[in-house]
Structure 1
């Protein structure tokens, strides 16, 4: 890698207690969990609702492709959100950026629950759906990097792995809440579900927004950012500096984050659609599989965060990438049996293996960039990976149609991104540079 290791600031000692670090990390986790709830709702609805109610003029395969394309729009918007909120976070503070993101995504998600469908307003329905998904993507583009940066910059260096992993638990918790909400409304009669039941989880975003905003208002600014302001070490255009001075590190960050984002959506959004629409498995079974997998993800994340402190997040990323690649074909063979037990086992094992790499992504990425560029660098790396992998359910569905419904193409796709992430982890471990120690 041609990039020189960045010199990390700040130069002065910063007093942070372990209890303060835990409190800030917890607050960041709660807000992130609620944002992921909003974001993940769309993925489940794309597989179960939007293909039927918002793209009704298309045949079944084309409608599913269109729904996943709308789903992918949110990922395409995430790098733009990373640019925007990275600028705010590195120039004006981590805290104000996170307050804006939570309001944006909460309002966008709640409004989806109020949208008329295609039969009511025609082509305007999918257009409005895409616009609101775009708003979700912009907000999430700034959310994860900001929450991770804030938590890590409040944490003692030797304990960053566990606090970074706590933020990652926001993903499975968001999955549990969103999938649980859909599992409940799926108990309604089909006509009631289509008429109004699917809207309830989206409308739930409004009260959750109030909770998240209250929590975010209590979060203190990063002490490292305060020091950057005092020393006048903030970058004028952070994203430009990332591309100019840390372009190689950005590529490593993208590679290291790819499996955690793309692999997750292959094993959840795509598999829910594949099981329901291709194999004819009851959609309740598919949604429940993601619920069980989310529980396993929480457990794996906790242990992986601790192991990252001992062995390094890059090495853990390599382990997760290689293990997922080795398991890809057996996982899809289990799904193809159409057995509910086998499907739940496959999704759970697949998500658990992917989580080994995902759990340590924040710890690895924050060590790749100096504090003056950290919000932008971490957000860009993670969300460019998100943009690249957000269309994977669409690509996997297209491959599925081209191969007559054979799942081997999806398995190969999973293997490919797993190996890219393993390579990113190996290089990233060699490039890690810590901030100067934080004193207590």
Structure 2
């Protein structure tokens, strides 16, 4: 075999890993988004019957937050498996748990059928789903980046980031189709269809991942002849030696996930709920606007990740967080115009800005941690930020409007979290090989965290 053929084959293998990693994240966000959409639109009626419709929506959004609360536990569990037993082993377990939990939600009886047992079972499945999410995205990112060519890590890491808007787009398409049904049918059985389709996504993901090899970095750790390169207690070790980096990772992710899940989940309930809390707009047209925004988000994921391989991770991410901050302060003034066009303009603006920040994010985090505790560090840091950002923000936004009646206050809340993200990003060291190659001094541990 010629060197050209070998190079082409290796490139094909790495590309397959990137696609396989993205498929898992697509299922993760598909599942989370259909849950968040159902929580915003129908779960208040199906599982949480109260005399106050806005309160019922709030209760259903608290179960959305519960999944985020379990994700750090999942990150610890699957991070240990990934750092000790292999990235591929951890991913398979997380992926199966996630898909099965989604299928379970699709067949749950309603409150009207079995009473309080229905929301209890829903919350239980939601908690299991959160555990699975904690292992999926960090593990997929580490696997893809450890397979990637050195100077294309940002681009390949973005395949995992790209899975988020792709999965969310698929979820919105699924609910957009369901919303063609009469409202009564949507509440009675139509909402179940996207959850059941999650089983098909699970099967496709398992098929795509069936031939993916273990990370070469992990294989090198195992094959190290002088000592076992794997940390025996990676979670304890990464907390002990890199706790500042974990807090920085969490802080950077807080503003990003708060803004994106406000757009994915809360904006839908705000735009479609009746007055005085909401704008009373048609659901179908708002969902369609979300699809356009997510498409912009996906494109900018790829562009910003590609750019980060050439000019550095930090300049791109700094631009992303500043654009997201500006979007947070302008989205709700625009949306308060009260028309479909105004809301959809705000949604596209917000998704576009966060796409710039999200593209290089996984690669930046993975490059910052040493290999033997990388999956634990990335997972714990990312999901701590996700809990404090995306997990509770839709619920907080609901209460902000209920308490103040002014949606602009939600934008101020997001801006405060993005300011925290900016402060955490500023001291983070640059990790892109192209940028580091221009330096005269040797690369330190954080910059050299992906040895071959």
With normalisation by structure 1, the TM-score equals 0.93
Checking the alignment, whether the CA contact within 8 Å between 2:23 and 2:205 is kept in structure 1 is yes
Match of 2:269 among 270, 273, 290: 273
Distance 1:391 1:429, change over 3 A: same
Q: Does 1:118 align with 2:111?
A: yes
Distance 2:272 2:116 in 1: 26
Q: What pairs up with 1:260-409 in 2 under 5 angstroms?
A: 260-277=256-273, 278-389=278-389, 390-404=391-405, 406-409=406-409
Distance 1:191 1:327 in 2: 36
Match for residue 259 of structure 1?
A: 255
Q: What pairs up with 1:29-48 in 2 under 5 angstroms?
A: 29-48=22-41
Checking the alignment, whether the CA contact within 8 Å between 2:33 and 2:264 is kept in structure 1 is no
Cα drift, residue 42 of structure 1: 0.5
Checking the alignment, whether the CA contact within 8 Å between 1:364 and 1:429 is kept in structure 2 is no
Q: Does 1:433 align with 2:447?
A: yes
Cα drift, residue 421 of structure 1: 1.6
Distance 1:436 1:34 in 2: 27
CA deviations over 1:89-131 (Å, ceiling 9, x no partner): 0000000111111111111111111111111111111111111
Distance 2:301 2:78 in 1: 26
Across the aligned residues of Structure 1 and Structure 2, the Cα RMSD in angstroms comes to: 1.4
With normalisation by structure 2, the TM-score equals 0.91
Cα drift, residue 71 of structure 1: 0.4
Q: What pairs up with 1:93-108 in 2 under 5 angstroms?
A: 93-108=86-101
Task: Return 165-174 or 322-331, whichever deviates more.
Answer: 322-331
Checking the alignment, whether the CA contact within 8 Å between 1:325 and 1:418 is kept in structure 2 is yes
Distance 1:421 1:321, change over 3 A: same
**Secondary structure of the residue that 1:429 maps to in structure 2?**
coil
User: Which contiguous aligned blocks of 4+ residues in structure 1 show a shift greater than 6 angstroms?
Assistant: none
Distance 1:321 1:301, change over 3 A: same
Q: Does 1:129 align with 2:122?
A: yes
Match for residue 162 of structure 2?
A: 169
**Secondary structure of the residue that 1:427 maps to in structure 2?**
coil
Distance 2:206 2:355 in 1: 28
Distance 1:436 1:366, change over 3 A: closer
Checking the alignment, whether the CA contact within 8 Å between 2:75 and 2:376 is kept in structure 1 is yes
Distance 1:24 1:268 in 2: 27
Match of 2:233 among 237, 241, 247: 237
Checking the alignment, whether the CA contact within 8 Å between 1:183 and 1:287 is kept in structure 2 is yes
Cα drift, residue 434 of structure 1: 2.7
Q: What pairs up with 1:154-193 in 2 under 5 angstroms?
A: 154-193=147-186
Give the gaps of 5 or more residues in structure 2: 1-8, 432-445
Distance 1:112 1:206, change over 3 A: same
Checking the alignment, whether the CA contact within 8 Å between 2:259 and 2:328 is kept in structure 1 is no
**Secondary structure of the residue that 1:337 maps to in structure 2?**
coil
Distance 2:256 2:11 in 1: 28
Distance 1:357 1:371 in 2: 24
Match for residue 214 of structure 1?
A: 207
**Secondary structure of the residue that 1:171 maps to in structure 2?**
helix
Distance 1:311 1:424, change over 3 A: farther
Checking the alignment, whether the CA contact within 8 Å between 1:110 and 1:205 is kept in structure 2 is yes
**Secondary structure of the residue that 1:367 maps to in structure 2?**
helix
Cα drift, residue 315 of structure 1: 2.3
Distance 2:31 2:263 in 1: 19
**Aligned length, in residue pairs:** 422
**Secondary structure of the residue that 1:218 maps to in structure 2?**
coil
Distance 2:76 2:183 in 1: 42
Cα drift, residue 374 of structure 1: 0.6
Higher relative contact order, structure no. (Cα contacts within 8 Å, ≥ 6 residues apart): 1
Checking the alignment, whether the CA contact within 8 Å between 2:146 and 2:450 is kept in structure 1 is no
Cα drift, residue 336 of structure 1: 0.9
Distance 1:206 1:197 in 2: 16
Cα drift, residue 41 of structure 1: 0.9
Distance 1:400 1:436, change over 3 A: closer
Cα drift, residue 429 of structure 1: 3.2
Checking the alignment, whether the CA contact within 8 Å between 1:103 and 1:209 is kept in structure 2 is yes
Task: Return 366-375 or 315-324, whichever deviates more.
Answer: 315-324
Match for residue 434 of structure 2?
A: none
Distance 1:329 1:436 in 2: 38
Q: Does 1:141 align with 2:134?
A: yes
Give the gaps of 5 or more residues in structure 1: 1-15
Cα drift, residue 152 of structure 1: 0.3
Cα drift, residue 58 of structure 1: 4.3
**Secondary structure of the residue that 2:118 maps to in structure 1?**
helix
Distance 1:186 1:37 in 2: 17
**Secondary structure of the residue that 1:100 maps to in structure 2?**
helix
